[in-house]
Structures are given as structure tokens and as C-alpha cells.
Structure 1
Amino acid sequence: MLLGVPAARAQALPETVNWRYDEDWSGLRDRAQRPGAPWWLPAKYVPLDAAGRVTLTTGIDARVRYEGFTGNEWGSGAAPDDGYLWLRALPYADLHVGSLRAFVQPIAGYARGVRPISGPVDRTGVDLLQGFADLRLSLGSATLTVRGGRELVALGSERLVGARWGPNIPQAFDGLRAILDAGATRVQLLRLRPVQIGPGDFDDRTSTTKRLSGAYATTRLPIGSGDLYYLDAINRAAHFDQGSGREHRQSFGLRLFGAAGGLRWNWEAMVQRGRFAGAPIRAWSVASETGYRFAHAPLTPLVRLRANVVSGDRDPADRVLQTFDPLYPKGKYFGELSPLGPYNIVNLHPGVTFTLGHGVDLGLAAVRYWRESRGDGLYGVPGNLIRSGKGSRSRDIGEQAEVLIEWQANRALSFSASASLFRAGRFLRETGPARPIHMAAFETAYRF
């Protein structure tokens, strides 16, 4: 497996993405297989007729990941000292027949050792992760793709709609998408329902309580690029520190991102309106990531600062809800250890990544967390309430440190190891158990 790197790079293969269907391997159409190329390269573009109108691409994602904890959920969980193994395999087949396409990706996802019981992010057995058909139409210089079925959806930075790739079971959606590409501009219209994960084989179902629709536009700007979007989400059984009820929420967002020289940026502002349990929603969030690559320094360090402010509810006794809802965010939101989700939070997250050579990167990061509002509690990434805000007036949540080492052995094979520590702050000490969280993780992944 280690022999194919030079030939693979020479052929300028497309970038691999987690959802796989956006990879275009048609560049292999007129290229002969070179000596020393990866063994799997012929599987990426298989012509099935003489004219080349019918083609097939196949591949797989396979991962084994171990996570071990002491003091998980600061000692308040049912099994705070725990270690488990995640196993998943995601083969796929992508068939093109002229302007028609069918994409199928099953999943085999299992967990070993999760206590007290594994949940939807841990296991699903054997099921359909993605399965859709689409039609691509030419509209002058633009193209329109109309797609229906089940798919992973990742919008922008995945702060509101993501593939949830870090945990064992990704988040898929059932429904329709229309994608218009015109030059440097892409506009997406979507009407989706999340897939509800079952623990057994072939028991994943379309949610009957949640729905997501909206529009998402991306275009090139004089400097960098920008996203402008509107998302309309319904959850008939939402839960916050203020209470429970039906949630109908509209999210309006603007994102600016790009790179120039060593500088890179990714800034996003979001406003939410709507109704929760018959009362108004008034929520907002500002998220940023700014980095600089010192290309001529030893180990070419990439220094970055992430900063987030996410609104929380001011007063659980009033009728207005100010808690921001990230809807379907990416997994591992704040790092390998992410005990908190982007609800009612202010954080500063500096970090640096060093390039050690031979495909090895070393990352160091620290995170400091505060509550945005004293009237609201703490939530996990899925939106579950971890601690009510009613037992303390302190904003201080705690601090986290993390080290991550990754080795991209070749294009297909990668390894990673991480160690994380979260030390509880005053709010956690005043509202329940406040043990430090220690986490170690090891991962091996193979993808082609």
C-alpha cells in the first residue's frame, strides 16, 4: 500500500471527501495505468460501454477507532470510566449513464464495550447510509442537478448541517435537493428529513418529527468566497433548559472564507428566529477561525485561533427562548474531545499544527469555555441538556488541552492518536460532579 504515493500524486487525483459523491474521477478516462500506481486505481473509473457513456466508480471507507475515558461527563455519567471500540465499513458504487446517475453506499457500523448502552452515534448494524438518483441538465453555461433519495449533506463549515463524520455513525438525510452551478456560483435548494438511526440491521427510518428545508448559495468574491443561506427547521419534540415543546426555527447566515498567501479565514454569523412552544425565538451566533501558515519556518507551523459566541437563554421563566440551536452540526465539534456542544457558550480555541514530514502532522490546542448566559445550562453536541443553569451564577465552565498526531501513510491509509484533558471550572463544580475528563483515542482508517 505504501508504494503508490508518487504515481498517485503524478496523476493529480481528485481530493477525497467524506461524502464521496462529489469526487470526479473522469480524469482517468484517457490515462493508462502507470507502473507502481495504487492497486485500487482501476476501480475508480470503469467504462462499461465502448462509447464511455456508462461508467462505474467503486471504493470503500473503513475505520477502527478506540476511545477511552476517565471522568467522562465530569463523573456524572452512568459509566464515567469507559473504553470502547468503534468499527465501521462504508463501501460504495457510483454509476453514471449519460446525465443520469445512481449512488449507493451501505454501512456496517458496530460498537464494542460502550456502557451502559450504545446509542445512535455508536452503532447501526448493516443499513443503507446513502442511496440516491440524480439527473443533470444543461442550462446554457449552467448545470442543474436534481437529486432524490438518501444522502450525507455537508453545508459550508458544517456548523448547522454536517455529515457527523467524527462519531461512528454519520447523519444522513432523506429527501430532495436541487443544485444549480453557474460559473463560480452554486445555489442549493433542499427539503430533507434526518434519518433516525436504529440499533439493528436495516431499521434506519426517516424521522417523522423533524424536517429541514431551505436555500444555500456560495459564490466567489473579490477576496475569497462567501456563503449566504436560509434554513427552516421543524422539531416537534425539542428540549431546552427552559422546557420542552414544538420548535419551528428559521436560520439566516453569512459566511466569508478563503486564503491569501499564508493567511486563511473562515468567519460566520447566524441569526435565528421562530417559535418554541408557542413563544418567540431570538437567538444568534458568531463563529470564526483565522490562521496563518509560516511556510518558511521550520516545520511550517500553521497557527490558528478559533473563537465562538453562541447565545443562551436569558431567563427560563420568561416566554422568549434565546438558546441557539445548531440543528445538525458536525461531530467532534470542538476537537477530539467534545463534551460540550455549540449552545450557550463562549470559547477561545488557539492551536498550532506542525508538519513533521513523511505525512506526519502534530497538532496542539487549548480551549477555554464560558457560558454566554447565566440563565441557561450546558448542552452536548446532539442537543441533550447536560447541566441545568439554575444551580450556579458562574460563567466559568472549564478549560481543555489536546494533542493530536496524524500520519497519512499514503493516499489510502492513515493513523491518528490523541490525548485530551478537560478541567472543570466553577460552574461545573457548583452544579454536580466535577472530575477532570481524560481521553485517549487511536484510529486507523483506509479509504480509496
Structure 2
Amino acid sequence: MKKKIIYTILLSGTSGFVSAQDIPADTTAEKLSQPSKTSYYIEPGSYGTKRETDPPSYIRELGKTGIKGAEKIDWLDVGLDYRARFEVRHNDLRREVITTDYPLLLRSRAYIGIKNIIDPFRAVIEFEDAHRVNGKFAPDNRDFNRAELIQAYAELHFKNALGKDDLGNSRALFIRFGRQAFEFTDRRLIGLNRWRNTTNNFLGLRTTLGQEKNDWQLDLLALRPINRLIDEFDKTDNNRDFWAVIGHWRKWSDALTIEPYYLGLKQRPAAANNNRERIIHSPGIRFYGWFNSNHINYDFTYTQQFGEDNGLDHNAYAVTAEVGYKFQQIKSKPRVSLFYGHVSGDKDPNDNVNNRFERFFGFARPWSSDDYVIPENIITPKLKLEFEPVKGVKFDGGYSFYWLASSTDRFNNLLAGSNNRDVTGNSGTFLGHGLDARVRFVPTKFIDANIGYTHYTMGEFVQNRQEAALNEHATSSDFFYIELSFNAFDMFKK
């Protein structure tokens, strides 16, 4: 220690240049031991916004699975995943009856991807089988999608098409066509919906310039959504076109990442959509980052919408904001965060303007752990706590409050979508408040466990609408679950 102090004093008083060989050996080694930056991408760290990887996180390169004799196969990606989640849902406000349900949700996925060996051509096929047992309610496409092809695309992948960035990372270019599933920005507008038993997917074209490691990246999408059919092969919705331009600027990612985007949806009138014609334009921007030695992080988004909705002008918006503090000096790395979300609802059912926000194909679970709330006509502040008390055991929990942004618009998920709006505004705006907690850990190398609980206290709007529809109401609801995910190819890991 004394040696370093003396050296610092001498160095500060030196008028000439100091070369590497003039620096004491221990100081040089200390400097060289610091990891160099190899990627511009920095994870936002905000709650519930981490995107699924591409390929999905359950996928393994065959040569790295530990299977004897497959060590040199670096051109084949494989995946075989099985998930089971047992739920207890007491007084679920999404249902048209006040009761307790004990469903068991089961989902299997299988994936094969070819890369490298015949570049630039690549291909992916992914299957899914999802269903529910022991539930009280009729099958729906949230829980059921039997023996379905969720991805099947061909890709032209050019690793070095656009040169390299300043860190030496190649700027790739790839073009994909076929059935695809992916996530963008904070997942609230385009997400796989991994929590749900079934998956969002599309048919169409995706072009990406750059990769996640680069200082900039641009994604171009021209797609049609896939309609999930319970016992039939899923079909493309030819009445809806969805397109997007999504940018990523990471040059300053140590403090700031910027993601501007433009999403568009055109719906042609048809019997399947009640002859409703729409065109929605949705520009927005997200910016996030860390500062104060990675103690404080922030994540802000703003999305504006305009267009036409079946003869009405469409004018809506959504704002999300989160600020968190991570105690880096504490071994369990606890993080405390405050979140605020405000998503517009229709202000006046009798005017010629629709103010209800179009949620596109987003992921609802970050809005509420019991799946009650979606980004539509909602105001919600949240307090969250995350930490890792023991290595490999992750805990998070929080408290949330919910209000309608407009008292005359609906609460979408209430009562299965019926009796969920009071156009007079006399049912109030308070939807309720709730506590949520979960713990995640890995009991074995090939099984992930997830256990959670939510207690929700019904607000005046929920109770008033339940009374109007059912002649009774619940004062609270409870949701408990145990989820186990099994990855077959991790069984071979050493």
C-alpha cells in the first residue's frame, strides 16, 4: 500500500511522459486484469423488461451440450423444453363467476436450427404443444395450442456485410422469411408472452442490420399475426398487416441507450373482426441507462398513437418510467425501484375520437403478476425489490396500485370482457392494489423452479361491476403457483 502511495506522488509530479515499462509490475498487472469492453449492449436492468434471446434461452449448440461424440458439431442448435405450472386462483376477477380454480398448465417445445455450415443460408423449425388440465373453465387460446408450429423460417445471414464497429464486432445483415416469434424494446408492445402457456408469432419478413453487440442496429418488420386455434393448425390473419421500424443506438450505452420505433397496424373489415376497419400509426421512443458506478438505472418510454378506428379518429398514448437503485456493495445486490405507468383510455364514448391505446402484441405480466392488467386505460405506480440472498436463488416482490385512466372506458380483463365498462363513469376509477412475491432457483442442472404468490384487494370499480353482473362481489383474490421447467439437453452438462 505504501509503495503505491509513493508511486502515485512521483507520477503526479512528473513533467514528462510515462511509458508502460516505467510503471511498477504490480500496477501494470492490476490494470491489465480489468476486462476490456467487447460489446456495446448493456442490459437495462428494469423490472420484467429483459428480452428473450435469439435463439431462445432454452436452445443449446449441440457441440456444447456434453453429449459424447457431438463435440465438433457447431452448426446445429437444438432445444427440448417442458414446463408445468400448477396454479391456485381464488376469486379470479377475469372470470364470470366467483370461485376457486386449480389448473395445471403444461407446455412442450422442440427446436432445430441450422447455421454456419451452409452460410449464408440458415433455417429454424420450432414446435409447441400447450394445454391445460384440471381446470373449471372451457379451453381458450391462452392455455391451449395443440401440436403447433410456432417458428419455421429460412434466413440469409451475412456475418460481415456492413463491416465492423469500433470494438471489432462484425455488423451482420440477415433477412428472415416465414413463421417467427421474437421480442423488441421493453416487450410491452412486441413480446412472446413467455408467461402465458401459448406464444405470439407472425408470418412475414424480418430484416436486421447490425447485431446486439454493435453500437447501432436497425430492425425492419413486415408481418401478419398468426391466429392461435386450439385444436387446428394455426392460420395467418390475412385481414391484419403489422409493420415496424425499430432502431437501437448504443454508442453511449455506458450511460444511455436509445431505441426509437415506429409501429403500424392496418386491419381490413371482415366477419372475424366485426367488420371493423382500422389503421393505427404508433411512433415512440425508449431510453435507458446506468450511472453513479452502476448504482442507479433508469428506463423511460413514450408512445403516441394516431390514425382511424372504424370511422373514429384514433388518438392515444402510453408513458412508462422506472428508476432503480442497486446496492452494489452488498453481497445480495438488492435493487429497489419505483415504476409509473400511464396508458390512455377512451375519454368520451359519445364523441368521434377513440383514446383507447392499442397494445399490439405485448407482454402483460410486467403490469401485474396475476395477469389482471394489460397496457390499456390504466394508471399504476409500483414499488419493487429484487435481490439474490444466496447465489442461484433470486427473489423479487413488490406492491402495486391501479386506477382507470378514464372512468368511462373499460377494464379489459374483468369478467371475461363483459360488463367491464360503465359509460356513465359512476362505478369509480380505483381497480385495486396488490402484493406480489416470487422466488426462482435451479434445484438441478436441468430444472428451473419458479414459485410465486399474489394477493389482490379489489377496488370500487371491480366490486361495482361484479355486483352489476353477478349480484355479488369479492373483496380480494389470491394467486399461488409452482412452476418447473425441464431442459432435456442440460442433462448432459458436466
1:111 counterpart residue number: 132
2:290 counterpart residue number: 259
1:83 counterpart residue number: 102
1:268 counterpart residue number: 301
Classify 1:256/1:221 alpha carbon distance in 2 versus 1 (closer, same or farther; 3 Å).
farther
Classify 1:277/1:401 alpha carbon distance in 2 versus 1 (closer, same or farther; 3 Å).
same
1:127 counterpart residue number: 148
| TM-score under structure 1 length normalisation | 0.85
Structure 2 residue 205 is matched with structure 1 residue 180: no
Instruction: Report Cα offsets for 1:381-435 as digits up to 9, x if no partner.
Output: 9x95661032544221110111111113466421011111111112222222441
1:210 counterpart residue number: 240
1:10 counterpart residue number: none
Within 5 Å, give how 1:341-420 maps onto structure 2: 341-380=374-413, 384=417, 387-390=420-423, 392-393=425-426, 394-409=428-443, 412-420=446-454
Structure 2 residue 134 is matched with structure 1 residue 93: no
1:339 counterpart residue number: 372
Classify 1:80/1:334 alpha carbon distance in 2 versus 1 (closer, same or farther; 3 Å).
farther
Contact 1:17 1:23 in 2 (8 A): no
2:329 counterpart residue number: 296
Contact 2:61 2:76 in 1 (8 A): no
Contact 1:285 1:310 in 2 (8 A): yes
SS of 2:220's partner is: strand
CA distance in 2, matches of 1:206, 1:103: 19
Within 5 Å, give how 1:282-293 maps onto structure 2: 282-293=315-326
1:437 counterpart residue number: 477
Contact 1:396 1:426 in 2 (8 A): yes
Alignment gaps of 5+ in structure 1: 1-14, 48-54
CA distance in 2, matches of 1:330, 1:81: 25
More strand by share: 1
Alignment gaps of 5+ in structure 2: 1-42, 44-49, 164-170, 468-472
CA distance in 1, matches of 2:66, 2:324: 37
| TM-score under structure 2 length normalisation | 0.77
Letter in 2 for 1:192: L
- Tell me how far 1:165 sits from its aligned partner: 0.8
Within 5 Å, give how 1:312-327 maps onto structure 2: 312-327=345-360
2:11 counterpart residue number: none
CA distance in 2, matches of 1:25, 1:172: 18
SS of 2:93's partner is: helix
CA distance in 2, matches of 1:204, 1:114: 23
1:50 counterpart residue number: none
- Tell me how far 1:190 sits from its aligned partner: 0.7
Contact 2:128 2:150 in 1 (8 A): yes
Structure 2 residue 76 is matched with structure 1 residue 56: yes
Structure 2 residue 168 is matched with structure 1 residue 139: no
Contact 2:408 2:425 in 1 (8 A): no
Contact 1:213 1:233 in 2 (8 A): yes
Cα RMSD over matched residues?
2.9
Letter in 2 for 1:437: S
Percent identity of paired positions between Structure 1 and Structure 2: 21
CA distance in 1, matches of 2:113, 2:392: 29
2:87 counterpart residue number: 67
Classify 1:327/1:300 alpha carbon distance in 2 versus 1 (closer, same or farther; 3 Å).
same
Instruction: Report Cα offsets for 1:203-225 as digits up to 9, x if no partner.
Output: 11111232211211111153221
Structure 2 residue 201 is matched with structure 1 residue 161: no
CA distance in 1, matches of 2:194, 2:128: 13
Letter in 2 for 1:106: F
Contact 2:435 2:456 in 1 (8 A): yes
SS of 2:423's partner is: helix
SS of 1:430's partner is: helix
Larger Cα-atom Rg: 2
